[in-house]
Structure 1
Amino acid sequence: MGVRAVQAIPSILWLFIAWFIIVGMLYPFKNRLKLVKIYYGLAILVRGENVHQAIEPFAKLLSKVPEWVLEVLIIGVFLSSMVYLVPAPLQIVGVPGFSFPSFFRILGNNVYALLTVKTSSPTSLVTHKFVPLAPLIPGVTIDLYTFMYVLIAIGIGILVHEFSHGALAIRFKSRVKSGGAFLSLFLLYGGFVELDEKEMKEKLSLPQLLTVYGGGVFANLLLAYLAVGLLLIANLPGLINYIGGVVIAGVIKGYPAYQAGIVNGSVLLYANGTAVQSTYSLLYLLEGAKPGEHLILTTLSNGVISNHLITLASDPNAPGFPFIGVMVQNREFYNFLYWFWTLNVTLVLLNSMPAFPLDGGQFIYSLLARFAGERRAMLVTEVLSIVVWGLIILTIYISISTGLWQLVAP
């Protein structure tokens, strides 16, 4: 733990130095850059008034989709993601599934775990399926190199998210007043489209309004599916040699991989004919296997593809579990797809929560306002917001205080 803290200080300092260099380069031109505003050197805001015209062509494409189809799909996915489960593919983490619990269920389960366990020890919490949360802090929970992936992935996710809100609003004959993005010290970032809320509430039906609020979450879910689709494409025979598989970063002497002639630096492409997509998928492929069983590993080394028949050994640290005797790491293409998937799924989980100022808060408020009146709807939504954000803060506190945040830190 102490080593991580010592390494974190220079990483964060370098991040801040890079920020102020960029701000220093922009500052002399701040009066000429009409779309860019710099706030005390700590934040940069890019805002445009012609966003409506930029989004309009895509809104016209959406107009070709029947309105009821958009409403059923988007509202259905949003409600499911808020209350019960997120219909997202899990293949990116090596699991052949298509759903996982909503954030609301995760927080509820965490509260149950905290109330059930007699001690707050990490082992007890994990046993009771407590799900830790770890903020992405460069140099602390992730390194600066990985943070570059995060910035690119979340930038795309936020852009598409906000773009979708605007496109659906225009599709339903409403107006987008402006749009933009902000960045502060490379730590806080986001995007927005400024919709004409008053016009929307007056002109749009309830299903149309809920569809606009749910559109961003639906778009992020589609991006998560895109990431998995690209991963499957990367494992096609013509591409896997270049961007698929996992890199063998080390071969342990005396164990099956070493005995089979697998060399350090080669790429593991297949295990028993199944494409190895990542370190996660390799672990999944080995699940259920036992020491003494045979496994055919296909590797790429110096342009040559070779098959190696190995007999699984017993893991010296966990007897009874299979052991190949290699250290592996993911390739760069997969690393980007992992973060692209992870951050878009996070945007789905986060924005579907019933709390202000998130999409879920606007969704619940609009729904309640049509049946219970605006005053009661505001009161209920504000109470929900306090509860939800309180549970998130509690979960982060427990995750950090017990060290469980390291389970989810990359």
Structure 2
Amino acid sequence: MSQLLIRVDPLIVLLASWFFVVGVVYLLNKQAVKYFIAIYWKSEGLVRYIRLFAEKLSFIPLRAYLIATLLLFLMPVFFILPIVRPDGQIQILQGFIYMLIGGTLSAVQTLIKGGQISEAATHAAGVTPIVPGVTLPWDQLPYLAVAIVVAVLSHELMHGYAALRYGIPLKSVGVFSLVYIFSGAFVEPDEESFKKAGTDAKVAVLASGVAANVVLAIAAMLLGLVGASAGLQGAVFGVQALGIQPGDRVLEMHGCGFNERVYTPDDFLIKVNTLAGMGPLLGVNKTIKCKPGDKVVLVVGRWFDKYEVVVDYSNFTTTPKIIWLYTDGSLYKGGIRAGDVIKRIEGCGVVEEIRWSGQLITSLQEIKFRCKPGDVIRVVVERNTTQIAFNITLVEREGVIFFGLGLGSLPLWGYDEGPIRRDQLYNTDFARLVFWLVVVNYGLAVLNALPIYPLDGGQLVAAVVQRKLGEKNGKALVNIVTWALAAMLIFNATLGLLGEQYRILQSIK
């Protein structure tokens, strides 16, 4: 029996769903629909729900709330961005404003020295506009949309909460959207009351939205940690490979003393390549003593069940073929070139027939331990079906022997070789939702906390400096800071687009 498979373009689904939403809103309130491409709906009646929320949390002391909110507001831009990984490890990034200024200066220097735009983009702050269908695959839109709704509603809810706690009335609450892409919500405080409010009240109101997003980002990461321990993450196979069926997900790997949980597709590939002996090129400080014939057990999840797949270690090895080398390294200076396949290494008591990339890395690590700069080793390569021997003098960099290998110098399983490719592996729905909750909330927090007027950060700075310097001088200072930082943002975003840094987003599965 043949089956008819119909693949619907995600763009068609997006537009169809949009017109459905617009139709429902039109039936409820015709005035809220603008030319059937935009929704702008504000209501005075919705204010009562924020008022009820504020009454429920009226027990929080205002002084404590102000201090906590201000610290959370300042954290992502001026202090740190904590990243909690699914395995429980914590990574600390510096405040975004330092990355923005430092990245801008570094990128400008690269361009002045004649560097390519793509090279300058790698030095920039990594500002990439998220545009579905352009910089982001359409299939990520549902998770992104949920994250935006949660982030924006929480942001505005806390603005409203703070305003009411400080006695500033709210006039209305509203939402807007332009074909999903430009969407948001807002609360409209009474302008006169806000202008007359004290500095503490203004700071609390302006900082509350960002603080809410920071809390949500951290909460999402902790949710991811809990979900990972419950087996809700992993590397989902999009094709049949290694005895694993499409839709099933690898949760754990065991073999050769290597026992690891798997959280994402990239995590899976890093651990597979580490198991294959490629850890040093990936920045992983682990040495695995495996050889062909040894067995690796993959624990696989299917819905609420688990099963094990036993795979021969040789399935994860790759050919020791040079893809590229640093030109100031020992191998390149000794005559080794891209395309050569390393067959044998001799030197400083090491004699090894090389059959796979991980074995080459292990042998070079042993030579680095036994030899010293200036020693000579013998390397046999296969070039165009002919074997050639090179006598290579070991050179050093920063006091240690430098062979000239870097990330991607040798084939990696899942990227260059292997039965499955990176683009055939997917995150679980849970992992995608957590990812976008973190990205959107941190992104919204960072953007709004920047001292750029009329963003929350710019208004907060204006409220403080105008009180200290007077309205005229304070406004001049805010304008200078606004234009300088806005120019940096635009410059970094442009570099990200021209340098194709958005391909990182496009690779998200």
Instruction: Give the TM-score of the pair, scaled to structure 1.
Output: 0.82
**Cα distance between partner residues in 1 of 2:313 and 2:179:** 52
Q: 2:479 aligns with which of 358, 363, 382?
A: 382
Matched with 1:217 is: 210
* Alpha-carbon shift at residue 279 of structure 1 (Å): 2.4
* Alpha-carbon shift at residue 140 of structure 1 (Å): 1.7
Q: Secondary structure at the match of 2:40?
A: strand
- Bigger CA drift: 217-226 or 54-63? 54-63
Given residue 234 of structure 2, which amino acid in structure 1 is its aligned partner?
G
**Cα distance between partner residues in 1 of 2:237 and 2:216:** 30
Matched with 1:189 is: 183
Matched with 2:394 is: none
Matched with 1:7 is: none
The structure number with the bigger radius of gyration is: 2
- Bigger CA drift: 59-68 or 221-230? 59-68
Given residue 205 of structure 2, which amino acid in structure 1 is its aligned partner?
V
Residue 75 (structure 1) aligned with residue 61 (structure 2): no
Q: What is the total number of aligned residue pairs between the two structures?
A: 382
* Alpha-carbon shift at residue 358 of structure 1 (Å): 1.0
Residue 399 (structure 1) aligned with residue 496 (structure 2): yes
- Cα deviation, 1:286-307, whole Å, max 9, x if unaligned, reads 4334464486532235834327
Q: Which structure has the highest helix share of the two?
A: 1
Given residue 332 of structure 1, which amino acid in structure 2 is its aligned partner?
D
Q: 1:337 aligns with which of 434, 448, 462?
A: 434
**Cα distance between partner residues in 2 of 1:262 and 1:17:** 35
Q: Secondary structure at the match of 1:365?
A: helix
Structure 1: which 5+ runs fail to align?
1-9, 253-257
Matched with 2:61 is: 66
Given that residues 119 and 499 in structure 2 are in contact (C-alpha distance below 8 angstroms), is that contact kept between their aligned partners in structure 1?
no
Change (3 A) 1:15 1:309: closer
* Alpha-carbon shift at residue 330 of structure 1 (Å): 0.9
**Cα distance between partner residues in 2 of 1:105 and 1:315:** 40
Given residue 399 of structure 1, which amino acid in structure 2 is its aligned partner?
G
Q: Secondary structure at the match of 1:105?
A: helix
Given that residues 85 and 225 in structure 2 are in contact (C-alpha distance below 8 angstroms), is that contact kept between their aligned partners in structure 1?
no
Given residue 344 of structure 1, which amino acid in structure 2 is its aligned partner?
N
**Cα distance between partner residues in 2 of 1:165 and 1:265:** 42
Change (3 A) 1:408 1:22: closer
**Cα distance between partner residues in 2 of 1:399 and 1:95:** 30
- Bigger CA drift: 141-150 or 154-163? 141-150
Q: 1:288 aligns with which of 285, 292, 298?
A: 285
Q: 1:278 aligns with which of 254, 261, 264?
A: 264
Given that residues 104 and 125 in structure 2 are in contact (C-alpha distance below 8 angstroms), is that contact kept between their aligned partners in structure 1?
no
Given residue 156 of structure 2, which amino acid in structure 1 is its aligned partner?
E
- Bigger CA drift: 227-236 or 347-356? 227-236
Q: Secondary structure at the match of 1:148?
A: helix
- Bigger CA drift: 112-121 or 46-55? 112-121
Matched with 2:103 is: 110
Matched with 1:6 is: none
Q: Secondary structure at the match of 2:196?
A: helix
Q: Secondary structure at the match of 2:300?
A: strand
Given that residues 224 and 341 in structure 1 are in contact (C-alpha distance below 8 angstroms), is that contact kept between their aligned partners in structure 2?
yes
Matched with 2:225 is: 232
* Alpha-carbon shift at residue 275 of structure 1 (Å): 3.4
Q: Secondary structure at the match of 2:168?
A: coil
Change (3 A) 1:122 1:284: farther
**Cα distance between partner residues in 2 of 1:188 and 1:223:** 21
Matched with 1:363 is: 460
Matched with 1:124 is: 119
Q: Secondary structure at the match of 1:387?
A: helix
Matched with 1:174 is: 168
Structure 2: which 5+ runs fail to align?
1-8, 275-283, 324-356, 362-409
- Bigger CA drift: 76-85 or 215-224? 76-85
Q: 1:33 aligns with which of 23, 29, 32?
A: 29
**Cα distance between partner residues in 2 of 1:266 and 1:54:** 43
Q: Secondary structure at the match of 1:99?
A: strand
Identity over aligned pairs, percent: 23
* Alpha-carbon shift at residue 182 of structure 1 (Å): 0.3
Given that residues 156 and 186 in structure 2 are in contact (C-alpha distance below 8 angstroms), is that contact kept between their aligned partners in structure 1?
yes
Change (3 A) 1:137 1:301: closer
**Cα distance between partner residues in 1 of 2:43 and 2:220:** 29
- Bigger CA drift: 15-24 or 385-394? 15-24
Change (3 A) 1:211 1:315: farther
Change (3 A) 1:23 1:267: closer
Given residue 223 of structure 2, which amino acid in structure 1 is its aligned partner?
L
- Cα deviation, 1:306-350, whole Å, max 9, x if unaligned, reads 274764744447744874855532111111111111111111111
* Alpha-carbon shift at residue 232 of structure 1 (Å): 2.1
Given residue 341 of structure 1, which amino acid in structure 2 is its aligned partner?
V
Q: 1:160 aligns with which of 146, 154, 157?
A: 154
